[in-house]
Structure 1
Amino acid sequence: MRTHDMLNIIAPTAHALPNLFSMEMWGGATFDVAYRFLNEDPWKRLEALRAQAPNILFQMLFRASNAVGYTSYPDNVIRAFVAQAAASGIDVFRIFDSLNWLDAMIVSIDAVRQSGKVAEVALCYAGDILDPSRSKYDLKYYVNMAKEVEQAGAHILAIKDMAGLLKPEAAYRLVSALKEAIDLPIHLHMHDTSGNGIYAYARAVDAGVDIVDTAISSLAGMSSQPSSNSLYYALQGHDRQPHVNIDSLNKLSHYWEDVRTHYKDFESSLLFPNPEVYHHEMPGGQYSNLRQQAKSLGLESQWDRIKEVYRQVNDMFGDLIKVTPSSKIVGDMALFMVENNLTEDDIYKTGDSLDFPNSVVEFFSGKIGQPYQGFPQELQRIILKGKAPLTKRPGELLEDTNFDQIRNKLSGVLTRPVTEKDVLAYSLYPKVFLDWVKLTAIYGDVSMLDTPTFFHGLLPREELQVDIEEGKTLVIKFISIEEPLPDGTRIVNFELNGLPREVIVKDRSFKAITTTKIKAERDNPGQLGASMTGKVVKIMVKKGDSVKKGEYLLVTEAMKMETTIQSPFDGVVKELYVMPQDSVETGDLLIELVKAAEA
């Protein structure tokens, strides 16, 4: 969601709903998405919203040692990020680890406590405590973990049900058991994919839950949270009915109903309650993203199979807690298997010759952390190809990030003073941050544009008013676009505050001439092909180089999913068929090797 749409409504929301526990508005994927897709500064967003709503706690989602990223970061990055987020307006940090590994959360808990803010530590819910055959994550598991979380210094215990797997009776039993076992307030967060969210919340309320997360009605349901408006009526007559003005909720819902239409082109979420989530167990936040990935890879017609393989991968990996980044790992593997038409048996039979997605390799290397009850040993051996995994917390082994070095580097890139927020953003997402800096240098701050214009542009003769600062408004009127020039550019005519202007732009609708690439021969172990449709991002070798078995040769990327191609034997690079940034399709020949004796 763009800052423009939130700033228009944040003050009325804070005024109309003063009894909210908190508003969650930052963290998780919203951090890199702001830079990557919305061309906005997430720090400025947070501070602008904070200024407009001083009376309600702000909450963020924090991925413990993964911060707001998808890998483990050094401890000094975690501590510095928490301190800056607290200074910029965050009051409550919902800390979780994607594997429910408490060791990975200790640094974050301590950092939040040192900042003087609220450390809300989450139990991520997986499995089914009502099913005796799913004994890995039973009621005893969650009670024991809750006690450990309390001892670790948490102020609040959260139940994070990211897929909406907590059935109503399970919600009652879990909350009841936790209320007996610990003295912390309990905050329940769940997605409504199954359609049972309101009923589950009502049962949790009966059991004594202290806080529940909801969404404004026009943004609620399915892969979002249960509806605030519906919960108000569901608990009518109950002594714990929310103290909220339903007319205010309805008015806010009307606003978001209108705004949501601006994003309809990007919605690929559920259109109706889908209880099959109890089978595939895909988190609500991942469902739409994974479907979009599948579409980009040309696999949309196989979506039902992808969901089935997603569950198969989960079981292969030992029945994981699935939330970012562990859910992404399961999703990457599912897409990899579907695109390459692989079965579980194929993985075990031919896995030694397969190049798995980097996220999968990192997971089995222990770089994400240690899963409850450990890794499947044989699968770990196949995926790591004999390399030894980590057994300690990754943050213990990572060197501190040199912030001064980053600051010096950015001082040569930015045309303004480098801030601590810039340094932290680069520490987490160096390429994403630098791409945003380059784009901002060209286009300036585009967050002030209204959403339809940002996404779709203006129609001929349409006029737009842009408030670039207090008391200063630009009036922009689109006049016409001229015919394309030989170099593929066009002249765009417009008026700026009534004066004619023109700008030359590249017409990206021109289709480049494409050539058919050679396909790798499946029965030739020296010909290495692309395992996913995407692009080449890095090449580590050149023609004639000698390489060892397992040596990294090149990296491909497909929708944020990287795959490193490794040498299957000791040999020599006979030929490279691609260059960095080349687009490739599944099976395209990337590199050809010959064994050392044949060179």
Structure 2
Amino acid sequence: MSDKTKVTHKVMITDTILRDAHQSLAATRMRWDEIEPVLSQLDEIGYYSLEAWGGATFDTCLRFLCEDPWDRLKNLKKYLKKTPIQMLLRGQNLLGYRHYADDVVEKFIEKAIENGVGVIRVFDALNDVRNLETSMKAIKKYGAGRCVCEAAISYTTSPVHTTEYFVKLAKTLEDMGADNICIKDMANLLLPFTAYEVVKEIKEELRPETKVHVHTHNTTGTGDMINLMAIQAGADIVDCALSPLGNGTSNPATEPLVATLKGTPYDTGIDINKLLPIVNHFNKVAARLEKDGFLSARVRKVDINTLLYQVPGGMLSNLISQLKAAGKEDKLMECLSEVPVVRKDCGYPPLVTPSSQIVGTQAVWNVLAGRYKTLTAQYKDLILGKYGKVPGEVSPEVLKLCTAHGEEAITCRPADLLSGELQRLTEEVKSSGYYQKEEDVLSYALFPEVATSFFKWRKARETGVDDDMAKNSDGVYPV
């Protein structure tokens, strides 16, 4: 190990207990009343950051928890005086499921930082850096001196995704303004010795002040080994989750790593005794999530299929559900064998949302109806560049099928085809009568129907009048 990669300072931990942990294990169903009681204690632990916002929490707050995600962020900031609030952002997709115009992306990031976010981890599912340009520029613009820009590499395995590929990508992201580089192993496909090699070579390429942050899960049971090897290779920060909601499809548990590193050159400086009352609290939260059917033993087990087929756990369950709906459960092994073919033909995208669902669904169609006899609209869009540039080469034969009816592939950044949306969205929310603040427009931009339903609920709670029950003709509310 070279002097440059030799760790002589403590390793820092980002705890995901407030976001990725319950998103991965329990459908993102942790409520504010389960978060608030321990925030002051969490703030005293000495974490690098607490991942507490973004990802699926935004959608879930609005859709299922009757909670304004912006209010959650503001309330988090009231308690977290020392520890930065970290969020996960999907680049040009923000927290939604499509590309948004640049003006929406910039305003969203401005408001996220204004309301308390201190670290923004931003990634693109295809590792197309063009899809990160606007968000990274906005983070640097509005977050100067108060928000870290952490650019993430979506890790995957393929002939295209070599160590050299990841090193080059890391350097590109640093040159774009990233303060930290995150290796985001969302599917737990990164193996421990590979983690050492990738971290070591990235660390040697970057400037000394650029931190390397490793994010993995424990789906395949390798998460702790990945973190340990990454730390020895020079990783500055690793993601963990407190044990009540750690391991399995979540992130490796915090407490074992803290204990392992204690007294070594990598000592985190965290007092494990201070974690105990917090762990006890989240044990109760986990019990509630299990009782309500959101947390099952299945997601806590090692998933050998991910290791064997390089298919993430969530993608596997989606394949099974599609086949079950078609009464073709016996075709699972054929579908698993078809996934690598479909993925290769569309240029080896990382299997993360949305590409994992797109590739999986096309594989099912190929098995049930014949290879590429039916092309899903999403698979065609992926082939045609509408999600961004895929890492590898697209199959010429499949591209020909996708353009058979006059469709054309695009080579520009997908968002370049979008006109500004912010003014129109603002007018729509204001005309609805539900507008209270700028953030409402951003909620509506991401989830129009869900946000509108939430706004109606909010107004009914505040006024005691349900708009859906009021008579439109005379405005009289029926008793």
- For Structure 1 versus Structure 2, the TM-score category normalised by the shorter chain is 0.7 to 0.9
- TM-aligned CA distance change 1:204 to 1:299, over 3 Å: farther
Separation in 2 of the partners of 1:420 and 1:391? 34
Secondary structure at the aligned position of 2:427 is classed as: helix
Q: Which amino acid aligns with 2:156?
A: A
- TM-aligned CA distance change 1:229 to 1:332, over 3 Å: same
Q: Deviations over 1:267-322 (max 9, x none)?
A: 355231123312333446x3597379659947796695465554554344332212
The match for 1:70 is 97
Q: Deviations over 1:211-260 (max 9, x none)?
A: 00000011111111001011123334422122111122232222112111
Does the 8 Å CA contact 1:267/1:288 hold for their aligned counterparts?
Answer: no
Q: Kindly state the Cα deviation for residue 80 of structure 1 after the two structures are TM-superposed.
A: 0.7
Does the 8 Å CA contact 1:124/1:159 hold for their aligned counterparts?
Answer: yes
Please list every run of at least 4 consecutive aligned residues from structure 1 whose deviation after the TM superposition is greater than 4 angstroms: 291-312, 334-338, 441-445
- TM-aligned CA distance change 1:412 to 1:106, over 3 Å: closer
Q: Per residue, is there more strand in 1 or in 2?
A: 1
The match for 1:25 is 52
Secondary structure at the aligned position of 2:269 is classed as: coil
Separation in 2 of the partners of 1:147 and 1:101? 14
Q: Kindly state the Cα deviation for residue 113 of structure 1 after the two structures are TM-superposed.
A: 0.2
The match for 1:146 is 170
- TM-aligned CA distance change 1:33 to 1:303, over 3 Å: farther
Q: Deviations over 1:174-206 (max 9, x none)?
A: 111111111121000111111111111111111
The match for 2:448 is 430
State TM-score, norm by structure 1. 0.66
- TM-aligned CA distance change 1:318 to 1:365, over 3 Å: closer
Separation in 2 of the partners of 1:224 and 1:251? 21
Separation in 1 of the partners of 2:68 and 2:324? 26
Separation in 2 of the partners of 1:331 and 1:66? 21
Secondary structure at the aligned position of 1:164 is classed as: coil
Which of 106, 118, 137 matches 1:91? 118
Does the 8 Å CA contact 2:86/2:117 hold for their aligned counterparts?
Answer: yes
Secondary structure at the aligned position of 2:134 is classed as: helix
Separation in 2 of the partners of 1:260 and 1:10? 17
Q: Deviations over 1:392-427 (max 9, x none)?
A: 001111101142x32332233335x43111111111
Which of 381, 391, 416 matches 1:362? 381
Question: Aligned-pair RMSD on alpha carbons?
Answer: 2.7
Do structure 1's residue 9 and structure 2's residue 38 form an aligned pair? Answer: yes
Secondary structure at the aligned position of 1:256 is classed as: helix
- TM-aligned CA distance change 1:187 to 1:307, over 3 Å: same
Q: Deviations over 1:311-354 (max 9, x none)?
A: 5543443322122222232344355557xx24xxx133x23xx5
The match for 1:125 is 155
Does the 8 Å CA contact 2:305/2:311 hold for their aligned counterparts?
Answer: no
Separation in 1 of the partners of 2:332 and 2:300? 15
Q: Deviations over 1:57-104 (max 9, x none)?
A: 111111111111121111111111110111111111111111111121
Secondary structure at the aligned position of 1:172 is classed as: helix
The higher radius of gyration belongs to 1
Does the 8 Å CA contact 2:211/2:236 hold for their aligned counterparts?
Answer: yes
Q: Deviations over 1:19-65 (max 9, x none)?
A: 11001111122211221222221111111111111210111111111
Which has the higher relative contact order, 1 or 2, with Cα contacts under 8 A spaced 6 or more apart?
A: 2
Separation in 1 of the partners of 2:61 and 2:323? 22
The match for 1:186 is 212
- TM-aligned CA distance change 1:240 to 1:331, over 3 Å: same
State TM-score, norm by structure 2. 0.82
Q: Deviations over 1:365-384 (max 9, x none)?
A: 32210111243332233245
Secondary structure at the aligned position of 2:445 is classed as: helix
Does the 8 Å CA contact 1:109/1:153 hold for their aligned counterparts?
Answer: yes
Q: Kindly state the Cα deviation for residue 152 of structure 1 after the two structures are TM-superposed.
A: 1.1
Does the 8 Å CA contact 1:364/1:384 hold for their aligned counterparts?
Answer: no
Separation in 1 of the partners of 2:317 and 2:81? 33
Do structure 1's residue 392 and structure 2's residue 419 form an aligned pair? Answer: no
Q: Which amino acid aligns with 2:294?
A: F
Identity of paired residues, percent? 30
The match for 1:326 is 355
Aligned residues: 426
The match for 1:34 is 61
Does the 8 Å CA contact 2:104/2:422 hold for their aligned counterparts?
Answer: no
Of 316-325 and 161-170, the range deviating more from structure 2: 316-325
Q: Kindly state the Cα deviation for residue 262 of structure 1 after the two structures are TM-superposed.
A: 1.8
Separation in 1 of the partners of 2:279 and 2:364? 36
Alignment of structure 1 residues 108-123 onto 2, 5 Å: 108-115=135-142, 116=144, 117-123=147-153
Separation in 1 of the partners of 2:330 and 2:71? 40
Structure 1 unmatched runs, 5+: 128-133, 446-503, 505-599
Separation in 2 of the partners of 1:291 and 1:40? 32
Separation in 1 of the partners of 2:287 and 2:141? 42
Q: Which amino acid aligns with 1:185?
A: K
Of 221-230 and 266-275, the range deviating more from structure 2: 266-275
Secondary structure at the aligned position of 2:87 is classed as: strand
Separation in 2 of the partners of 1:2 and 1:297? 32
Separation in 2 of the partners of 1:288 and 1:443? 41
Do structure 1's residue 373 and structure 2's residue 392 form an aligned pair? Answer: yes
Does the 8 Å CA contact 1:294/1:303 hold for their aligned counterparts?
Answer: no
